[in-house]
Structure 1
């Protein structure tokens, strides 16, 4: 590469304009949150916006059967290509950066390289994956690329309101079965890289401009039911109750102990949702249903935690005279990022004078799915006060610029053909 390419920098004002413009699509005036959930009309408008920006950048624009939007900067060879991207769908009442930042930065990197006239050895492809936020469970776009989608999943995936993915895709003019053709051969891709806000407080608290992700956490989620016996709150003696809520209370107190004994410093466990039935003030709880979200970067630790949580729940059920049952709602394997890609990112950060912090990702990302197919790497930029999935989500422009420049030069090095 020439010295001029080595000194190349992104155009921050263009990144700003893209982020702020896309943030208006799906914006709610009442709560200022963004509602661009997968395959809604707002999501489709966002995809059309992105496709237009890709064409404006004079990149080759396309969309596959899973509605993943791509922009391609052709390389000089047919060597396996480099993918960079993230997603532009959101959770309800979202902020402006989650997913979007990685797509906008990827677009700016390809746009900036094309403007110089430099032709990389390897083709560079921006990809904005569909439904990373899991409206229909999983990560539909990246799972399609990795060949993890089948006709049964297409027919049965629903959102929390019971709306089928199949029907929603048809409503938006897609042939759902075409998602099966979105699968790529592993040998066609050299690696996948993604820039993302951290969505946590670590970088902000350490005053670091950049995180280099070395591992992405795995997770399992359970829907747990403790069944007791609903009875009168006044006439049922305390020692004769089969109180399902007390079982949940016992279990909640067991969570820290189980993490201490069976987890690691990267383990997390969360009871995020609970329902008490019948739900009357004068009735002993006969049924409690609750969620359990457990994460770690080691598959061995996840297995040990699962066994320990089952054992604890069984013991509590016996002691409280309850029935215990659970359904596993999801499982995602942890992924180790490619050491070569991690070192490339760290090297470019060092060259640009940035103090990068190596860290795991506690959230799942498209990189996690892609990591089952090809080598992956991730760049984190700080989240102000650790906030995400909220209109308060934000990252300083200077941190965005720093992360984007590291991504730019990582892509230039990865695409050099070596």
Structure 2
């Protein structure tokens, strides 16, 4: 039932108990009883059960539900005008052995915000739409739902996208009753969307260590990932003198020591570079390594710095290869442009946090999110809440309920402001 008219929009707060109930209920869908991890990967049966659960909760809240061709789930709070709508959301698919909050928290908080407007009998100028995007976590490459909304999915990509086991996205979509080509119809007109907001756990340790309840994201990092090969000459470990070796692994060791210098000279304080995987061939204890293949993941919130780092890493690898008598080659596996959050939305988030007497920290996002894709098309904003001990993508992932309540109330008041202006 609508609340008393004594409740004004600025007094409106979320119902934390209901958020708790929704988080805990959804965490049971796809949970493994042995490792306690959640397995709700995109377009699995568990993911479909999660989507049906969400549709039920949307309709119970008195909102209109919708499912588009990419299997994005929406809940719609209809405004008084046809002005461009405000979107809020995230995703409910997970990585294998996931925690309960990554993605899910943003969807549940978005639902609660719209639910509170219904209960309070508030009318808004603009329509508000909750959206839970498909396959953010990357079973089939990641960001499938938001890329579909932005019109970045093509017939060719639909025909070729597959998971690590070779299962095609189009096969899984058909198995779940979806026409893959209908994902092309999920594309939205940018002029129909005022903005997109997302609340997410930080997935890092910064807010937790600072004891701040809210992070206000100003930029979302861009990144590139390479596969790199250094090729030398495999030879006998006992009979090949040290000064006569073309040791591919020594080339990698040299490069690993160069990474901090390159970041300092060519990057920014927001630059990150990680060598996360390496393979030594032939891989025998008594053989000088002939080939090393390794990955490098490089991130920054500035495209200019990313370009500079790319050039610097190539120069360093070429120089090491010449010095060690190796051959150097690389392949770029992925590239995501950095995205700046809307200055107006960042300012509004700051204003609402201050009005609620919350301590906040303005910060970048070092991880990719659906907001990064949406930010290429419409103004975006993001709220972070702390991750206990920086944990994410594991059953140990958690956030204090008080921090969730703080972030959710900032979201509620920001959505109200955006929907009325």
Question: Quick one: distance in 1 between partners of 2:75 and 2:59?
Answer: 8
Residue 227 of structure 2 is aligned with which of 223, 232, 247?
223
Query: Are residues 1:201 and 2:169 paired?
Result: no
1:353 has 2:357 as partner = yes
Matched with 1:326 is: 330
Tell me, in whole angstroms, the C-alpha distance in 1 between the residues paired with 2:97 and 2:395. Answer: 7
Separation in structure 2 between the aligned mates of residue 330 and residue 392 of structure 1, nearest angstrom: 29
Map of 1:176 onto structure 2: 180
Note the C-alpha offset of 1:388: 0.9
Q: Residue 132 of structure 2 aligns with which residue?
A: 128
Q: How much has 1:336 moved relative to structure 2?
A: 0.8
1:2, distance to aligned residue in structure 2 (A) = 7.7
Where does residue 163 of structure 1 map in the other structure?
A: 167
Q: Is the counterpart of residue 404 in structure 1 residue 411 in structure 2?
A: no
CA shift for structure 1 position 161: 2.2
User: What does 1:364-379 correspond to in 2, within 5 Å?
Assistant: 364-379=368-383
Assess, with a 3 A threshold, how the Cα gap between structure 1 residues 18 and 135 changes in structure 2: closer, same or farther.
same
Give the SS at the match of 2:196.
Answer: strand
Which residue is 1:21 aligned to?
Answer: 25
Quote how far apart the aligned CAs of 1:162 are. Answer: 2.1
Helix, strand or coil: the match of 2:8?
helix
Q: How does 1:1-400 map to 2 (within 5 A)?
A: 4-400=8-404
Q: TM-score, normalised by structure 1?
A: 0.98
**What is the CA deviation profile of residues 93-126 of structure 1, one whole-angstrom value per residue up to 9, with x for unaligned ones?**
1111110000000000001111111121100000
CA distance in 1 between counterparts of 2:175 and 2:235 reads 47
Task: For residues 21-69 of structure 1, give each alpha carbon's deviation from its aligned partner in whole angstroms, at most 9, with x where no partner exists.
Answer: 1111111122111111111121111111111111111111111111111
Which deviates the most, 302-311 or 240-249?
240-249
Q: Which runs of 5+ in 2 are unaligned?
A: none
Query: 1:178, 1:129 → 2: CA distance?
Result: 15
* Secondary structure, aligned partner of 2:219: strand
What's the CA shift for 1:351?
Answer: 0.7
Higher mean alpha-carbon deviation, 8-17 vs 224-233, is at 224-233
Deviation at 1:4, TM superposition (A): 2.1
Q: Deviations over 1:185-216 (max 9, x none)?
A: 11000000000011111111111110111111
Deviation track 1:332-387 (CA, whole Å, cap 9, x = no partner) reads 11111101111111111111111111111111110010000000000011111111
Return the alpha-carbon distance in structure 2 between the equivalents of residues 228 and 168 of structure 1. 43
* Structure 2: distance between partners of 1:362 and 1:3: 38
**Secondary structure class of the residue paired with 1:54:** helix
Q: Secondary structure at the match of 1:199?
A: coil
Question: Could you tell me how far apart the structure 2 residues matched to 1:21 and 1:138 are?
Answer: 25
Q: What's the CA shift string for 1:202-247, capped at 9, x where partnerless? A: 1111111101111111111111111222222222222222221111
**Distance in 1 between the 2:110 and 2:323 partners?**
55
Comparing 183-192 and 163-172, the one that deviates more: 163-172
Distance 2:180 2:6 in 1: 46
Deviation at 1:149, TM superposition (A): 0.7
Provide the TM-score with structure 2 as the length reference: 0.97
Helix, strand or coil at the partner of 2:217: strand
Deviation at 1:160, TM superposition (A): 2.1
SS of the residue corresponding to residue 415 of structure 1 reads helix
Q: Which piece of structure 1 moves more, 31-40 or 254-263?
A: 31-40
Q: Measure the CA separation in 2 of the matches of 1:2 and 1:271.
A: 57
**1:256-298 Cα shifts (integer Å, max 9, x gaps):** 0100100100000001111112222222222211111000000
For the Cα contact (< 8 Å) 2:7–2:120, is it kept in 1? no
User: Which runs of no fewer than 5 residues in structure 1 stay unpaired?
Assistant: none
The count of residues paired between Structure 1 and Structure 2 equals 417
